[in-house]
Amino acid sequence: MNLAEGVQTISFALLALMMIGAALGVVLLDNIVYSAFLLGGVFISISGLYLLLNADFVSAAQILIYVGAVNVLILFAIMLVNKREDFSPVPRRWIRKGGAALVSVGLFALLGTMVVQTPWVIPANLPATTSTLIILGEHFFSDYLLPFELASVLLLMALVGAVVLARREYVLDDEASVGEMPQLPLQLPERPKEPVALSGTSAPSR
């Protein structure tokens, strides 16, 4: 074992330990904020694994998207729903926990056996890649062109859907009321949606 392989093995072991520890913490801890932060740890360890696999762009994207966007969004959601509520303990909770643990261990055993048993096809001489970005780009504009373009429609639709779900149409006052007590934003009366086409009058747009 030369130096490079040794470094690789040790960093793999460290990353794996980090990831498994953080993942267990996500599942087992009671405080949801700790779980959310530990989830960020899981994502970062995964991006480290990607680096070990020579996938530098994927690793950067993993940090940007999962840690930077998804995890922050989860934290925001937790902090916005800042509601302390003590849940009454479910009777016989250990049965459910035991069942979940049993299923997880069984699944792990099955998948582990599979990974060990399967003769994986490993290409013998992989060419050394200097920049994965160029290869990714080539794939995006050749054999993965159609999924790449379809993803744009998917994103457009998701955007429209998100706007539809999140939109609230408030009644706005005509004149600005200076000096009055401002209403709480969540108690603004929502404008009733009048079906324009039903009433027959072609009212102007929203």
Partner 1 sequence: MDFANLASQLNAGAILPEGIVIITLLVVLIADLIVGRAADRWTPYVAIAGLLAAVGALYLGWNRLETVSFLGSFNSDNLSLVFRGIIALATVVTILMSIRYVEQTGSDLGEYLTILLSATLGAMFLSGSEELVMIFISLETLSIASYLMTGYMKRDLRSNEAALKYLLIGAASSAIFLYGSSLLYGLSGGSTSLAGIAAGIANSSQSLGVLISLVFVIAGISFKISAVPFHQWTPDVYEGAPTPVVAFLSVASKAAGFALAVRFMTIAFPSVSDQWQFIFTALAILSMILGNVVAIAQTSMKRMLAYSSIGQAGFVMIGFVIGTESGYASMLFYLLIYLFMNLGAFTCIILFSLRTGTDQISDYAGLYQKDPLLTLALSICLLSLGGIPPLAGFFGKLYLFWAGWQAGAYGLVILGLLTSVVSIYYYIRVVKMMVVKEPQEMSETIKNYPALSWKPFGMRPLQVGLILTLITTSLAGILSNPLFNLVNASVADVPLFEAAVPIRPAAPVSLQVPATPLSAVVPQSAPQAQTLNVNLRS
**Window 34-73: residues binding partner 1 (CB under 8 A):** none
Identified binder of partner 1 from the candidate list 73, 160, 170, 173, rule CB under 8 A = 160
163 makes contact with partner 1 (CB under 8 A): yes
Query: At its nearest, how many Å lie between partner 1 and the CB of residue 155?
Result: 10
206 makes contact with partner 1 (CB under 8 A): yes
| Count of positions (residues) in the chain | 206
153 makes contact with partner 1 (CB under 8 A): yes
Residue pair 191/171 in contact (Cβ under 8 Å)? The answer is yes
105 makes contact with partner 1 (CB under 8 A): no
Q: What distance in Å separates the CA atoms of residue 136 and residue 54, rounded to the nearest whole number?
A: 13
124 makes contact with partner 1 (CB under 8 A): no
Structure tokens that stand for 73 in this block: 């969004």
27 makes contact with partner 1 (CB under 8 A): no
Identified binder of partner 1 from the candidate list 72, 103, 133, 157, rule CB under 8 A = 157
Residue pair 71/43 in contact (Cβ under 8 Å)? The answer is yes
The single-letter DSSP state of residue 53 is T
Residue 187 identity (one-letter amino acid): Q
Q: What distance in Å separates the CA atoms of residue 132 and residue 53, rounded to the nearest whole number?
A: 11
Identified binder of partner 1 from the candidate list 110, 131, 133, 183, rule CB under 8 A = 110
Identified binder of partner 1 from the candidate list 89, 91, 185, 192, rule CB under 8 A = 192
Contact range with partner 1 by CB under 8 A, out of 10-18, 34-42, 77-85, 194-202: 194-202
Residue pair 27/103 in contact (Cβ under 8 Å)? The answer is no
How many residues make contact with partner 1 (CB under 8 A)? 45
- Quickly list H helices, 53-92: 56-62, 72-80
Q: Please, what is the Cα angle at 156 between 154 and 161, to 5 degrees?
A: 95
Structure tokens that stand for 70 in this block: 């998804």
Query: At its nearest, how many Å lie between partner 1 and the CB of residue 190?
Result: 9
- Binding footprint of partner 1 on the chain (CB under 8 A): 110-111, 113-115, 117-123, 138-139, 142-147, 150-151, 153-154, 156-158, 160-161, 163-165, 192-198, 200, 202-206
